Amino acid sequence: MKEGDVVIVAMPQSGTTTKNRPAIILREMPPFQDKLICGVSSQLHQEVKDFDEIIAPSDDDFIASSLMGESLIRLGFLTVVPESQIVGAIGSVSLTRHQRLLTKLSNYLIR
- Assess whether pLDDT exceeds 80 at residue 12: no
CATH code for position 89: 2.30.30.110
Q: What does pTM read for this prediction?
A: 0.93
Structure confidence at residue 111 as a pLDDT band (50, 70, 90): confident
Structural domains counted in the chain: 1
What range does the domain containing 37 cover?
5-110
pLDDT band, very low/low/confident/very high, at 19 (cuts 50, 70, 90): confident
pLDDT value of residue 13 = 74
Name the CA radius of gyration of the chain, rounded. 13
Identify which of 54, 3, 52 has the alpha carbon closest to the alpha carbon of residue 25.
3
pLDDT score at 17: 82
What pLDDT, in 10s, does the model give residues 38-94? Answer: 999 999 999 999 999 999 999 999 999 999 999 999 999 999 999 999 999 999 999
Residue 101 has φ and ψ, to the nearest 5°, of -65, -45
Q: What confidence score (pLDDT) does residue 18 get? A: 83
